[in-house]
Structure 1
Amino acid sequence: MQYYALVGDLRQSRQSPDRKALQELLLDTLRELNGRYEQHMAAFLMVNAGDAFQGLFFSSAPILEICDCIRYALSSKSGIRMGLGYGAIETAIDRKHSILADGPAFWNARNALQQVKKEDYYGTRTMAISLGENRYEYLQTLVTQVLVLQDLVASKWKNTQLELARHYLTSHGYKRVSQAQVAKEMNLSAQQVNNTVQAMGWFAFLDTRKETEQVMQRILGGIES
């Protein structure tokens, strides 16, 4: 059986003016996602060091959506780096303690995280993926370039733009909802949301993300279109 392993850490967390609050935000975020996406998890997301975390997911999971929920929940406090690996697990899996699991999925995830650190595109890169097997080489190349380009786009977002991304993803994931609904939820005017969405290229970003994830689910997770 094949899985997605996710490993990540926070950028420069030791320089945070309130590291305790940052760690609490990370813990709260992972706890919330463990509840929301429980059916997709082979082993829950957990903190395995002060600013590092990991989790294990079934191959049919909406994995990019989950990664984005982590990223943008923390975006007001810290940057993030994540490595996503696909492959087998060679040990027993304890659902409550993903740190006990190991195998190619985690080896690939750690390699992907090192790739983020090695080729960070002037600090804009947040995520890399390693699918391991040669037969997925073209898929990995394509997904990698999508992630790199979208990281570059998102690196330009500030303030209200980041808040909109955070709210949208934590409330709706990749589901399409109207700007009017978002405006009501965020207590903003329709014009404010429209201006923000256009400046971000938000729905183009979201649709590309969703389509990329669906391709991954069809090829790796066996989900029919």
Structure 2
Amino acid sequence: MQYYALVGDLKQSRQSSDRKALQELLLGTMNSLNIRYTEHMAALLMVNSGDAFQGLFFLDAPILEICDRIRYALSSQNGIRMGIGFGSIETAIERKQSILADGPAFWNARYALAQVQDHDYYNTRTLALRMGENCHEQLETLVNQVLVLQDQVASKWKNTQLELARHYLSSHGYERVSQTQVAKEMKLSTQQVNTTVQAMGWFAFLDTRKETERVLQTVLGGVDS
């Protein structure tokens, strides 16, 4: 059976002025996602080594949405790196202890994380995908280039733009909702939200993200288990 493994860490977390608050935020984010996406999880998201985390997901999981919820929940911090790996698991899977699981899915995830670290595109890259040798290589290359480009776009978001991304993703994920609704939720004017959304290219970003995820689910979900 094939899975998505997710591994990640916080950049420069040891330099945080309040590491306890940072760890509590990370733990709270993991716990919230474990509740929201529990039916998509083979092993729950967990924190290890203080600022690192991992989880194991079934192929129907909205994996990019989950990564974005993690990223923007923690966007007030120094940054985050994540690697997604596709593949099998060769050990027993303990649902509450994903750290005990191992196999190609996690090997590929760690490889992807190393790619984010080694090829960071001027410190803007946050996410990479690895499917393994001789496995949908063209799709992997295309998805990674889309992710790089979107990271470049998102790296330029500041202040209200980041607040909008954080609020939107935490409240709605990739679901399309009206700007009027977002304005009401954020206690901003519709004009403010409209201006922010246009400056960010928000809905183009969101639609591209959602379509990339749909393609992954369609192609990889059809792989023989």
Same fold by TM-score greater than 0.5: yes
Equivalent residue for 2:53? 53
The number of aligned residues is: 223
| Aligned positions of 1:35-46 closer than 5 A | 35-46=35-46
- The alpha carbon displacement at 1:73 in A equals 0.3
Instruction: Give TM-score, length-normalised by structure 1.
Output: 0.98
The reply on whether 1:64 has 2:64 as its aligned counterpart is: yes
Q: Is the 8 A contact 1:129 1:140 kept in 2?
A: yes
| Aligned positions of 1:11-50 closer than 5 A | 11-50=11-50
- The alpha carbon displacement at 1:134 in A equals 1.1
Q: Is the 8 A contact 1:60 1:222 kept in 2?
A: no
Residue type of the alignment partner of 1:16: S
How high is the sequence identity, in percent, across the aligned residues?
Answer: 78
- The alpha carbon displacement at 1:221 in A equals 1.5
Q: Deviations for 1:31-86, whole angstroms, at most 9, x for unmatched residues?
A: 00000000000000000111000000001110000000000000012300001000
Q: Return the alpha-carbon distance in structure 1 between the equivalents of residues 28 and 47 of structure 2.
A: 11
Unaligned segments of structure 1, at least 5 residues:
none
Query: Which deviates more, 104-113 or 132-141?
Result: 132-141
Residue type of the alignment partner of 2:160: T
Equivalent residue for 2:170? 170
Q: Return the alpha-carbon distance in structure 1 between the equivalents of residues 162 and 222 of structure 2.
A: 33
Q: Return the alpha-carbon distance in structure 1 between the equivalents of residues 150 and 74 of structure 2.
A: 18
The reply on whether 1:143 has 2:143 as its aligned counterpart is: yes
Q: Is the 8 A contact 1:60 1:220 kept in 2?
A: no
Q: Please give the secondary structure, in 1, of the residue aligned with 2:136.
A: helix
Q: Is the 8 A contact 1:88 1:105 kept in 2?
A: yes
Task: Let me know the Cα RMSD of the aligned residues.
Answer: 1.0
Q: Return the alpha-carbon distance in structure 2 between the equivalents of residues 221 and 25 of structure 1.
A: 32
Instruction: Give TM-score, length-normalised by structure 2.
Output: 0.98
Residue type of the alignment partner of 2:50: G
Residue type of the alignment partner of 2:82: M
- The alpha carbon displacement at 1:127 in A equals 0.7
Equivalent residue for 2:156? 156
Equivalent residue for 2:195? 195
Residue type of the alignment partner of 1:180: T
